[in-house]
Structure formats: C-alpha cells, structure tokens
C-alpha cells in the first residue's frame, strides 16, 4: 500500500506541472493572548501566567489545464513572544481531482484529519495534566503530529470519505508512522450526524498503536460529541479514554460549551488505584466584533499516578485543581 501511494503521488505531481494561470494567493492568521490562573495541589503547577500564541498562514490555490486543483500552504507559529520559538508548523502541497486528494509535506497525519474528541467543541482547551505523566488529556490519542509525510484522501462519496498517510523516518529500525481513517456524514431530523474512526501504528524502538472513534450530532444551535480512544505502548501502557462534549449557540455572538473526559491506564496500579486523569471543562465565547473574540474557560481536574514511574525514575505526583483562562483572540 505504501509503494502504491508513493507511485500514485509521483504520477499525479508530474501531471499537475502543466501550465496554468496565476494562482489565487491568500494570507490569514490569528493572534491570541491568554491569562491563566491555576490553583493546584502540586506547587509546581500552581500560579498565574501570561502567554501568546500567534499564527500566520500563507496559501495559494490554482487549477491546471488538465482540471487538477493545486494548493500550497505554509503555516508559521510564534509562541510566548520568544523570537527563537518562531517555527514552520505546516508546509504542504495538495493535488486534488476526481480521484481524491494527495497531500505531500509537513502536516498532520490522517488520524488527526479523521480524529474526534469531546474537546473539539472547546475553543481553548485547558489541561491540568501532570507534564511527566504518560496519559493524554483527551479521548483521541493521535500519533506523529506534524511531520513530512504522504497522505491520500478519497473523494467524498455519499457522505463517506477515507484516507491513509505514511511518515517514513528514512532509516531501518527507526520510527515510521502509518495511519488510516474514515468518516461518514448523513442528514438526520433537520440536522446532521457524523461518525469518525481512525487507527495509527508507530513502529520503532517502542511500538505504539492507537484507535479513536466517535459521533457528532448537530441539531440547530446545539452540537453533541461522544468519543472513545485507546493507546497501547508495547510492554508499558494500556490507555483508554472516554469523553462527552456539548456546545450551544446562544445567539448574539455568544456560545457556551462543556466537556468531560476520563483517561485511565490499567497497567499502572498502586493497590486498587489505577493511573487516572479526569477533567470537567466549561467555556463561554463571545464574538465582540468580526474576527475578535473573548473567551473564558474553566477546567476542574484530578490526576492519580497509580504508581506510574516517569522518565526521572520517580513516581509522577498526584495532583488536582482548577484552571481559569481568559483569552483574547483576533483573526483575519
């Protein structure tokens, strides 16, 4: 399947090089400032902080004489006002036609494209997860992140779409990531329902397998999500996450949302207590003007280490607390 994907991508790229008119170029972005107040049992996680998260996206779209649509995207991030933190987040070339879409370059894997979790309805995800813990903070355990890869997405057929991606490290015995995913959307009672599934495998020093599935129901001003996921790390972890989210459009530029998630690792148990992360999240978003939003997000969380040992060789510390964030974002 990998060889077929490589060969097909090369043929499509070659066919798209025919002459075409000047491309449509666009520039978009978002600038975000956040104040966070965290009241935690663990001193290291307690306190107040300011942060910025800024993003610029430059893209072009063109249509060739052969009917192919060619798109290029460059996404750059700058966090916390640190000049050294400016980086290229995504750099990807997409070639689309009646056959579907090939995506080539630095981008998210297919398990992210077809991923779903309860916090998809939360604009600003507030995480109280202990940083040294091996658990995740959502029910979707994607692998790979932004990395150079080849991906293929089928055309949407009757509401159904599927995809496959591969990231090859270029050396035997090192990390390679393969991911598949699919989604199906259908109308239901004046709204719509979307079902998603993804699966990913990372081969290398430590083999890792993940799955994720969920359903999103949209009815008028209300959207619901229920999701579940697993992550298995060879000889180490057997993690499961379940979550539920809800969002409601109040009108007048205001939305409210809530989510709950529980993530457990049954391989890390101290006595009768397994490693567990639980969180309840609430959020209010108000659109002050087109492109300008104010957001307040509240997270109540608890983490139990279950005897899990971190990279330092010491057990990760139990923690619980509350996080309140105020975010101002401007997009264009």
* 41-52 confidence digits (pLDDT tens): 877 778 899 999
> Tens digits of per-residue pLDDT, 276-302?
999 999 999 999 999 999 999 999 999
Parse the chain into domains and list their residue ranges. Answer: 2-331
> Tens digits of per-residue pLDDT, 46-93?
889 999 989 999 999 999 988 999 999 999 988 765 555 678 889 999
Can you tell me the distance from the alpha carbon of 139 to that of 118, in angstroms, rounded to the nearest whole number?
7
Measuring CA to CA, how many Å separate 70 from each of 28, 60, 103, 157?
A: 18, 8, 10, 21
Can you tell me the distance from the alpha carbon of 184 to that of 163, in angstroms, rounded to the nearest whole number?
12
Can you tell me the distance from the alpha carbon of 123 to that of 284, in angstroms, rounded to the nearest whole number?
9
The architecture of the domain spanning 2-331 is Beta Barrel (2.40)
pLDDT at 116: 95
Q: Strand 273-289 to strand 160-167: parallel, antiparallel, or no bridges (unpaired)? A: unpaired
Q: Residue 137: beta bridge partners?
A: none
**Highest mean pLDDT, choosing among 20-34, 134-148, 317-331:** 317-331
Please provide the average confidence, as pLDDT, over all residues in the chain.
Answer: 86
> Tens digits of per-residue pLDDT, 114-125?
999 999 999 886
Q: Higher pLDDT residue, 257 or 3? A: 257
Lowest mean pLDDT across 164-173, 192-201, 273-282, 293-302? 164-173
Count CB atoms within 10 A of the CB of residue 15: 14
Whole-prediction pTM: 0.85
């Amino acid at each position: 399947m990998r060889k077929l994907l490589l060969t097909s991508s090369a043929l499509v790229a070659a066919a798209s090089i025919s002459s075409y008119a000047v491309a449509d170029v666009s520039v978009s972005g978002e600038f975000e400032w956040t104040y966070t107040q965290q009241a935690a049992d663990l001193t290291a996680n307690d306190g107040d902080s300011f942060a910025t998260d800024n993003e610029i996206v430059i893209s072009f779209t063109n249509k060739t004489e052969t009917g192919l649509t060619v798109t290029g995207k460059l996404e750059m991030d700058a966090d916390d006002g640190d000049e050294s933190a400016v980086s290229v987040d995504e750099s990807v070339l997409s070639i689309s036609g009646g056959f579907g879409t090939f995506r080539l370059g630095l981008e998210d894997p297919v398990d992210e494209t077809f991923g779903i979790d309860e916090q998809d309805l939360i604009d600003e995800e507030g995480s109280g997860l202990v940083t040294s813990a091996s658990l995740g903070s959502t029910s979707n355990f994607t692998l790979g992140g932004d990395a150079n890869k080849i991906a293929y997405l089928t055309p949407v057929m009757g509401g159904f779409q599927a995809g496959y991606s591969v990231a090859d490290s270029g050396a035997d015995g090192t990390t390679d990531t393969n991911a598949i995913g699919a989604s199906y959307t259908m109308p239901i009672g004046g709204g719509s329902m979307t079902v998603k599934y993804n699966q990913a495998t990372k081969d290398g020093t430590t083999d890792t397998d993940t799955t994720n599935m969920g359903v999103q129901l949209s009815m008028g001003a209300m959207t619901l999500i229920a999701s579940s996921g697993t992550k298995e790390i060879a000889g180490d972890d057997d993690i499961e996450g379940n979550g539920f989210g809800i969002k409601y459009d109040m009108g007048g530029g205001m939305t409210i949302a809530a989510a709950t998630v529980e993530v457990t690792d049954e391989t890390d148990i101290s006595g009768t207590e397994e490693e567990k992360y639980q969180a309840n999240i609430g959020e209010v978003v108000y659109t002050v003007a087109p492109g300008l939003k104010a957001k307040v997000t509240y997270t109540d969380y608890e983490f139990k280490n279950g005897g899990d040992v971190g990279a330092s060789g010491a057990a990760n510390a139990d923690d619980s607390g509350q996080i309140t964030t105020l975010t101002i974002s401007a997009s264009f």
